[in-house]
Amino acid sequence: MKNTIEILREGIYTSIQDLKRTGFRKYGVPKSGPMDEYSHILTNWLLDKEIISELLEITYYGPKIKINFDTKIALFGSKCDVILNNNKIETGKSISVKSGDILDIKKCIDANRVYLGFSADMKLKNTFNSKSTYDKIQIGGLHGKKLLKNDKIEFINIRDNKSKKIPSSFVRSNNQNIIIRVIKGIHYYKVDNFNNENKINFKISPNSDRMGLRLINYKIKLNDYSQIESTVVTKGSIQIPKDGNPIILMSDSQSSGGYPVFGNVCKVDISKLSQVQPNQKIKFKFISLKESNKLIEYEKRKFMSKLNLDLSS
């Protein structure tokens, strides 16, 4: 079928995500969208598309895809082996493809996810103003689910843009000892055993998903286990359930919760956190809200000065 892609082999978890679902959390509908917004935005930049546009979010091991139209593609996020027909191609740059080409995306090597975009728009209906997949209630994306073998996606507004490459200063290294900056949460005063943050390591549990990253290796104890009122939470909120193993809420998380809120991950570190692989260690470093806002402003200035991208909205 013309102007489509066809999934010849499904990956472990490939879904359609964008940054358009806003304003519905008050009704209990998650924003969903990319786990790694940083890589999502840069992939769209490679294709001269709006940074909120839909992409394929590929988790752990990717699909094999037949492309049935001439276009450009771009991949960015985790390092991974990508084969176009019989040739290995680079991530972090836009590449021309021809109708009939076969794209084979294999294992994510140094992180969890890589993002794939096309220089065209997916012809899919919006749900709550967005094409983002939320498979718990099967909305968005293609049939509200991850992509499966034999699925087809039709494209419109096909464009031929100039080739681009992401500057090296935007390429992040995913190392083994990750420092995650955190602002103290409204229930931090309840914590009884977090006196020396420099010596406390957490590990990302393999049981993590798009709803939340579950941390293991260190249990947080509270000095007061009395019930708290349900409170507003968002992507990056760190909750402490009764077992003491923190949960960091992510893209498909609920809008309110009844667990104590230990902290909130600094916005500029959430994307980095989403790429930390299972069983890797992380440490928390507490910073002030003022410091967090300075980091956000610095990132905005960097994107504007080097890529002419406005992240203000």
Number of Cβ within a 10 Å radius of residue 35: 26
Give residue 261's pLDDT: 95
pLDDT of residue 229: 82
Residues 11 and 150 in one domain: yes
Q: 57 vs 7, 91, 95, 284, 296, CA distance in Å?
A: 14, 14, 18, 27, 24
Domain contains 253: yes
- pLDDT at position 231, please? 87
Asked if 95 and 113 sit in the same domain, the reply is yes
Q: Please identify, among 150, 170, 190, the residue that sits at the C-terminal boundary of a domain.
A: 170
- At which of 148, 170, 192 does a domain end? 170
- Give CA 52 to chain center in angstroms: 13
Residues 192 and 156 in one domain: no
CATH assignment at residue 40: 2.60.120
Residue 105 and residue 194 in one domain: no
Are 223 and 192 in contact, with CB atoms under 8 Å apart?
A: yes
Give me the domain span that covers residue 235. Answer: 177-307
Eight-state DSSP code of residue 255: S
Task: Convert 56-86 to b/e letters by CB count within 10 Å (16 or more is b).
Answer: bbbbbbbbbbebbbbbbbbbbbbbbebebee
Domain count for the chain, please give it: 2
Per residue in 245-271, pLDDT tens? 999 999 999 888 889 999 999 999 999
Residue 100, in any domain of the structure:
yes
Whether 21 and 32 have beta carbons less than 8 Å apart is answered as yes
Query: Where a domain ends, among 170, 190, 221?
Result: 170
Q: For a pLDDT cut of 70, what percent of the chain falls above it?
A: 99
Structural contact between residues 77 and 114, judged by C-beta atoms closer than 8 angstroms: yes
Query: Within a domain: residue 312?
Result: no
Characterize the bridge pairing of strands 177-184 and 281-286.
Answer: parallel
Q: What's the pLDDT score for residue 176?
A: 61
Domain membership of residue 279 (yes or no) is yes
Q: Could you say which residues of the chain have pLDDT below 50? A: none
Which CATH number covers residue 298? 2.40.100.10
Rounded to the nearest angstrom, the gap between the alpha carbon of residue 170 and the centroid of all alpha carbons in its chain is 16
